[in-house]
Amino acid sequence: MGYAPIAASQPGGPLIDTTCSYEQVDAALSVEAPRAAERLRNRPDAQAKAQALLALPVAERRAKVNEFLDRNPDVRRIIETRRDTPQGQDTVAKLQRVAQTCHNY
């Protein structure tokens, strides 16, 4: 998991650019994408990476995600391929709603 779910919302997209804390994103994820929230909660390593990433200033966060995707072109290809599927579009929409609503928590 790690950076891939955040990157799936599109590198440079609203979830990467959010000013919400990890706790706010987690709360919004629980509402907008409960299965994804559950998967994240079952992966302490992924939680730690998401917490560390969201603690960074937006510019550093963007750079870190892009560096990760540059080092892992297979992950970038998977994200890009899946993003174009109906399920991928659903995931992108959910992550965008998380970014739009996280300030409510």
Domain coordinates in residue numbering, the chain: 4-104
**Cβ-based neighbours of 101, under 8 Å, separated by 6 or more:** 28, 31, 32
- Over residues 84-99, the mean pLDDT reads 91
Within a 10 A sphere around the Cβ of 61, how many other Cβ atoms?
A: 20
Identify the band that residue 80 occupies on the pLDDT scale cut at 50, 70 and 90. confident
Query: Among candidates 57, 56, 71, 53, which has minimal Cα distance to 9?
Result: 53
Identify the band that residue 40 occupies on the pLDDT scale cut at 50, 70 and 90. very high
pTM of the model: 0.81
pLDDT value at position 67? 94
Query: Among candidates 4, 28, 27, which has minimal Cα distance to 99?
Result: 28
